[in-house]
Amino acid sequence: MAAPTVVALAGGVGGAKLADGLQALLGGRLSVVVNTADDCTRHGLLVMPDHDTVLYNLAGIEQPGLGWGIEGDTHAVMDQLGVYGEPTWFSLGDRDLALHIARTAAVRAGARPTEACLAAQRSLGVAARILPMADAPVATAVRTAEGWLEFQEYFVHRRQAPEVLELRLDGIDAATPTPEAAAAIDAAGAIVIGPSNPLVSIGPILAVPGMRDRLAAARGRGARAAAVSPIVGGRALKGPADRMLASLGHEPTALGVARLYADLVDVFVLDAVDAALAPEVEALGLEALVTDTVMADDAARVRVAAEVLRGVGVA
């Protein structure tokens, strides 16, 4: 019997770290479905931040300590763009720009974004497949006291400072799961939701029409599903997830995240710091798996991935 395949849902640095650990254990048996609702066009180029963060981590070239971008990258092009009066607050490294140029050229020549992304992954020798959630454009918008902001304006330019009052996914009704993402979920032996922001990294993936039904069908035929909390001790390890949960009416704790995923997973993984919440997680009908979820180095990524895989019954 063939070993089971695993599908991870991910976005951002936390999801990328777990995906890297999963790839170390599963290799080509792993597919990562990534959020594309924070994609944007910069300087005429298609930039896919969540895909690219996962890509660079799985290729082993991410910036240590940051988890995104390429290690040792330079910014000569951005510096020169500033000379010409171009905005440079969304800084792209020179080697990073090469990916955006190649991908944009492929899409303009008729390739689907998924096809262009898979080609880049092959070029970097990535064993797993990183699959955009949809090929049709979807864009997260954030409402603040100043009005609606494009996601990267909020996340990068404003440094996540404004309080988030509402989220909107432009284009979501016209999106569908890519054929590759749909096929991966349909064949999966297990599903893992990474420790990503549940509202703006995982939320858009789940909002793609038909995605929740596919995940439910996978569980219906026996695939177990787990989610890893991005909130540890009431705080997000990275990014604005805790503040965003609170401002949008959710409890900014691991338990609050578990409530969001209660109808989607069988196992909820929470950090040992939050062990006291395990009984309340189990009261939701979930299995609580308590472990050290902080992935400070490569060994920790593999350790957490191994714990998650044991939780879903995948060796």
SS3 per residue for 244-262: HHHHCCCCCCHHHHHHHHC
**Identity at 61, one-letter amino acid code:** I
Evaluate if residue 11 carries a pLDDT over 90: yes
Contact predicate 14/298, CB 8 Å: no
Distance CA 261, CA 228 (A): 10
Distance CA 33, CA 19 (A): 10
pLDDT band at 64 (very low <50, low <70, confident <90, very high): confident
Q: Which CATH number fits domain 6-41+131-139+171-311: 2.60.40.1890, 3.40.640.10, 3.40.190.170, 3.40.50.10680?
A: 3.40.50.10680
Distance CA 150, CA 75 (A): 24
Evaluate if residue 148 carries a pLDDT over 70: yes
Phi and psi based region of residue 147 (left: phi greater than 0; alpha: psi -120 to 50; beta: remaining): left
The pLDDT value given to residue 68: 86
pLDDT digit string, tens, across residues 170-216: 999 999 999 999 999 999 999 999 999 999 999 999 999 999 999 99
- The CA distances from residue 312 to 69, 74, 164, in Å, are 31, 41, 34
What is the percent of the chain with per-residue pLDDT over 90, rounded to a whole number?
96
Phi/psi at 38 (5° precision): -105, 10
Distance CA 32, CA 7 (A): 6
3 state SS of 176: coil
Contact predicate 43/142, CB 8 Å: no
pTM: 0.96
Contact predicate 151/160, CB 8 Å: no
Q: Which residues pair with 143 in a beta bridge?
A: 148, 166
Distance CA 212, CA 62 (A): 31
pLDDT digit string, tens, across residues 250-296: 999 999 999 999 999 999 999 999 999 999 999 999 999 999 999 99
Contact predicate 104/46, CB 8 Å: yes
pLDDT band at 231 (very low <50, low <70, confident <90, very high): very high
Contact predicate 186/159, CB 8 Å: no
Which residue in the block uniquely carries the two structure tokens 């999801």? 15
The pLDDT value given to residue 1: 61
Q: How many CA atoms lie within 13 A of 158 on its CB side?
A: 19
What is the percent of the chain with per-residue pLDDT over 70, rounded to a whole number?
100
| Mean of all residue pLDDT scores within the chain | 96
Element (H, E) at 70: none
Task: Give the number of other CB atoms < 10 A from CB of residue 174.
Answer: 11
Distance CA 299, CA 265 (A): 26
